[in-house]
C-alpha cells in the first residue's frame, strides 16, 4: 500500500530506513499530487530505487529545522515550490499578499522571500560539503543573471546566490535521475558538468571553450543594451534540439555554464509519470489547520499536456517547459479520470482537461521532434506559420471519451484556450463541442488588449482575429440555443502601452458592452521578453526603444480605464482623458465614457489637442500629492483582490 513520503524520523523508523538518499526541501506544504513538482520529482526518484524524504516549509530562522530527517546519503534537493516565492508573496504593487494557496489554511509567511537562496544557506550552516541541487520554477527562471523586479536590480545567477552545486532547470524528470545516478556511482558533484537541463559553476576555463559566451555579469548590470542582447541570446537557446551551451562570466574568473535543455519526454514517458501511485492529496498533518487550499482546483482536474508554442512575451513557459508540446495518451488520462471518480468527494465534475494551453495536444509541425522549433519565428505570431498543423480531432476525441465515463456528469475545460488556433481550424467541431459540453455559461479567453500596437509587444495576434472568434462563438451558441458569454482577460500597462492605447481599449469595451471584472496589471516576473522590455525599455527582438509605463499614477490610470464604469475610478479616468486630450469622451453622448463633473482633489489640467499644460499653485500641488496617492492605493487594493482570484 502506497504511503506519503517520510516527513519525520518516526516515518523513517516505521519504514526501516536508517539514512535517506535525498532530502527534498520545499517552500510549499507537502501535497502528494502530480500537479505539484515536488511530488513528481520525489516519486520518480523513488521509482528508480532512491529513498526520499520531504521537509516542507522549514523554519529558516532555526538551523535544526533542516536536520529533522538527518543527513542524506547523496544530497539535498531544494525548491521554492510551485511558484516563485516573490510572486507568491507580493502583488504587482509590491504589497504583501494576505493569502498563500500552498500553505496550511492559506496562512501567509511560512516561507521566506527568495526561498531557494535562503533554504540553501540554511543547509550550508549545518552540512558544509553535502551536494545541493536546486530546481523548480524559481531556480529555473533565475538560472542566469536576471532582472529582479522586487529589488529593482540585476541579480546574479541563483546558482551563485544560493551556494548550490547544480541547477536542474525545466521540468527536470530526466536530469534529476541522471544526477542521482552520478552521485550514487561515487562521482563528485563538481564533476557533473555534462547533463542536459543542468547549470553548473566552474573556474576551469576549458569547460567554456565549446560554449556561446554571453556578456559578463558586470557588463549587463551596467548596460541595459547588453542586458537586452544577452537575454535574447538566451531566449533563442531554449530548444533542446538547437540550443548551444551558454557561458556567463562573473568577476572575470567564475563561469556559470548552462547546458542545453533536456529533450522532450515521449508520450510513454509522460504516461509513466502519471501512472505513479500518488496519494493525490495533502499530508494529513495539515488537516487541523484547514488543509492546503491549492488542492481544491487540481484534485479533480487532468493534465493533458505540457509546453506551449503560443509565444506570449509575458509568459515564462518558453524558458521553463519549452515550445514543443508533450502530451499523454488517451488511455493514461482516462485511467486517471476513472481513479478520481472513485474519490468519495467527487461530485461528477471534472474541473479541467488541459495544460498551459488546453487545445494544444501535438507539436505545431512535424519537424520539431527531430529539428526543434524555429529560432527566428513564432508559430502563431504575428501571423500563422505556413507549416503550422491545426487539428483538434485528437482533443475532441479525448473529451468525448471522458464525457462517457460512469459517474461523470460534466467535463469542463478551464485551461486557457488559444482562440487564434481555434480560428485557424477549418473544422468547427471543437468549438461547437466546447460550447455544447465543456463550458457552463461563459468561456474565459485572453486577448489581453485590443490595440495592435500593444498586441505586437505582447506577442498576441491582430485584434481582428479575436473579433472573428467572438463572432463565431456567438454564432455557434445561437445555433445551439445557448446563452453563453466570453470573459476576456485584459492586461494594463504592458510595455508599449500608452495612455492612448488604454483609452482605445476603454472605447472597445464601451462599443462591445463589456465590463471586465478581472484586470491584470503587467507583472515583471523573471526571464520573459516583456520583463526585459520593462527593465531596459528596449525590445530585445529588434533592439528598438519601447515606451514603458513605470509611473505608479499613470499605471493606475491605465488600469482604471479598463473599468471606467466603476465610481471609484471616476477621478482617475477623467484625469487620464483630459491628459490625453480626449475630453470628447466626457459628457452625456452615447460615445462618452463618463459624464462631466468636477474631479475631487485632483489636478487642474488645461489641455488642448497639441499640448497639455498643467497649472498648479503651491497649495493645490501639496493637496494633489496626498489625495492622488490615496486614490491610487484604493484602486490597487481593489484590483489586487481580483488578480489574486484570477491567479488561483
Identify which of 480, 346, 334, 355 has the alpha carbon closest to the alpha carbon of residue 399: 334
Q: What's the pLDDT score for residue 597?
A: 81
H helix runs in 189-293, sequence order: 217-222, 224-235, 267-275
Write the pLDDT tens digit of every residue in 602-637: 443 333 333 333 333 333 333 333 333 333 333 344
Task: Enumerate residue ranges in the chain where pLDDT < 50.
Answer: 602-648
Label residue 443 exposed, middle or buried (CB < 10 Å: 0-12, 13-18, 19+): buried
Q: What's the pLDDT score for residue 2?
A: 84
Q: What's the pLDDT score for residue 599?
A: 53
CA dist., res. 530 & res. 525, Å (int):
9
CA dihedral 292, 296, 298, 302 (to 10 degrees): 140
Domains, the chain, with CATH or none = 9-195 (3.40.50.280)
Q: What's the pLDDT score for residue 517?
A: 84
Q: Are 208 and 50 in contact (CB under 8 A)?
A: no
Where would I find the beta strands (DSSP E) of 372-450?
410-411, 442-448
Write the pLDDT tens digit of every residue in 334-371: 999 999 999 999 999 999 999 999 999 999 998 998 89
Q: What's the pLDDT score for residue 369?
A: 85
Amino acid at each position: 500500500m502506497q504511503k506519503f513520503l517520510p516527513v519525520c524520523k518516526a516515518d523513517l523508523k516505521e519504514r526501516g530506513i536508517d539514512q535517506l538518499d535525498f532530502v527534498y526541501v520545499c517552500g510549499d506544504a507537502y501535497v502528494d499530487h502530480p500537479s505539484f513538482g515536488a511530488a513528481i520529482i520525489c516519486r520518480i526518484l523513488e521509482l528508480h530505487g532512491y529513498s526520499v524524504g520531504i521537509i516542507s516549509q522549514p523554519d529558516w530562522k532555526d538551523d535544526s529545522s533542516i536536520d529533522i530527517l538527518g543527513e542524506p546519503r547523496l544530497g539535498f534537493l531544494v525548491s521554492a515550490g510551485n511558484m516563485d516565492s516573490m510572486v507568491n508573496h507580493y502583488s504587482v504593487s509590491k504589497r504583501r499578499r494576505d493569502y498563500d494557496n500552498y500553505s496550511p489554511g492559506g496562512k501567509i509567511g511560512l516561507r521566506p522571500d527568495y526561498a531557494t537562496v535562503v533554504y540553501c544557506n540554511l543547509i550550508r550552516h549545518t552540512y558544509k560539503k553535502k551536494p545541493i541541487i536546486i530546481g523548480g520554477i524559481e531556480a529555473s527562471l533565475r538560472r542566469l543573471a536576471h532582472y529582479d523586479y522586487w529589488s529593482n536590480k540585476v541579480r546574479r545567477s541563483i546558482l551563485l546566490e544560493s551556494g548550490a552545486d547544480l541547477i536542474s532547470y525545466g521540468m527536470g524528470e530526466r536530469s534529476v535521475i541522471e544526477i542521482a545516478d552520478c552521485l550514487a556511482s561515487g562521482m563528485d558533484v563538481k564533476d557533473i558538468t555534462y547533463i542536459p537541463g543542468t547549470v553548473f559553476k566552474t573556474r576551469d576555463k576549458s569547460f567554456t571553450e565549446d560554449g556561446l559566451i554571453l556578456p559578463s555579469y558586470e557588463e549587463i548590470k551596467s548596460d541595459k543594451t547588453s542586458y537586452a542582447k544577452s537575454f535574447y541570446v538566451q531566449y533563442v537557446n531554449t530548444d533542446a534540439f538547437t540550443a548551444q551551451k551558454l557561458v556567463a562570466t562573473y568577476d572575470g574568473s567564475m563561469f556559470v555554464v548552462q547546458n542545453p535543455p533536456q529533450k522532450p519526454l515521449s508520450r510513454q514517458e509522460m504516461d509513466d509519470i502519471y501512472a505513479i501511485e500518488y496519494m493525490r492529496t495533502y499530508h494529513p498533518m495539515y488537516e487541523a489547520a484547514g488543509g492546503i487550499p491549492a488542492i481544491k482546483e487540481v484534485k479533480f482536474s487532468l493534465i493533458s499536456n505540457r509546453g506551449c508554442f503560443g509565444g506570449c512575451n509575458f509568459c515564462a513557459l518558453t524558458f521553463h517547459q519549452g515550445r514543443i508540446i508533450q502530451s499523454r495518451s488517451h488511455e493514461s488520462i482516462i485511467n486517471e479520470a476513472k481513479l478520481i471518480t472513485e474519490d468519495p468527494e467527487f461530485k461528477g465534475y471534472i474541473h479541467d482537461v488541459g495544460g498551459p494551453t488546453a487545445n494544444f495536444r501535438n507539436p505545431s509541425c512535424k519537424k520539431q521532434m527531430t529539428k526543434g522549433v524555429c529560432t527566428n519565428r513564432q508559430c502563431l505570431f504575428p501571423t500563422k506559420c505556413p507549416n503550422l498543423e491545426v487539428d483538434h480531432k485528437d482533443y475532441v476525441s479525448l473529451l468525448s471519451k471522458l464525457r462517457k465515463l460512469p459517474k461523470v456528469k460534466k467535463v469542463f475545460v478551464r485551461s486557457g484556450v488559444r482562440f487564434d488556433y481555434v480560428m485557424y481550424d477549418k473544422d468547427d467541431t471543437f468549438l461547437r463541442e466546447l460550447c455544447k459540453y465543456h463550458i457552463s455559461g461563459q468561456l474565459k479567453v485572453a486577448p489581453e488588449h485590443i490595440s495592435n500596437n500593444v498586441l505586437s509587444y505582447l506577442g498576441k495576434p491582430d485584434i481582428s482575429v479575436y473579433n472573428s472568434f467572438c463572432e463565431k462563438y456567438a454564432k455557434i451558441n445561437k445555433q445551439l440555443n445557448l446563452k453563453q458569454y466570453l470573459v476576456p482577460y485584459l492586461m494594463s500597462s504592458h510595455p508599449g502601452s500608452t495612455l492612448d492605447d488604454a483609452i482605445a481599449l476603454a472605447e472597445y469595451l464601451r462599443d462591445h458592452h463589456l465590463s471586465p471584472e478581472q484586470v491584470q496589471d503587467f507583472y515583471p516576473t523573471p526571464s520573459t521578453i516583456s520583463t526585459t522590455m520593462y527593465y531596459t525599455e528596449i525590445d530585445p527582438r529588434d533592439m528598438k526603444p519601447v515606451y514603458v509605463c513605470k509611473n505608479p499614477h499613470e499605471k493606475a490610470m491605465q488600469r482604471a480605464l479598463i473599468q471606467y464604469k466603476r465610481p471609484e475610478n471616476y477621478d482617475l479616468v477623467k484625469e487620464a482623458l483630459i491628459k490625453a486630450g480626449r475630453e470628447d469622451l466626457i459628457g452625456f453622448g452615447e460615445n462618452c465614457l463618463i459624464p462631466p463633473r468636477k474631479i475631487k482633489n485632483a489636478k487642474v489640467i488645461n489641455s488642448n489637442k497639441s499640448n497639455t499644460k498643467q497649472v498648479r499653485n503651491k497649495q493645490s500641488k501639496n493637496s494633489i500629492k496626498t489625495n492622488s496617492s490615496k486614490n491610487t492605493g484604493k484602486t490597487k487594493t481593489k484590483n489586487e483582490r481580483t488578480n489574486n482570484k484570477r491567479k488561483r
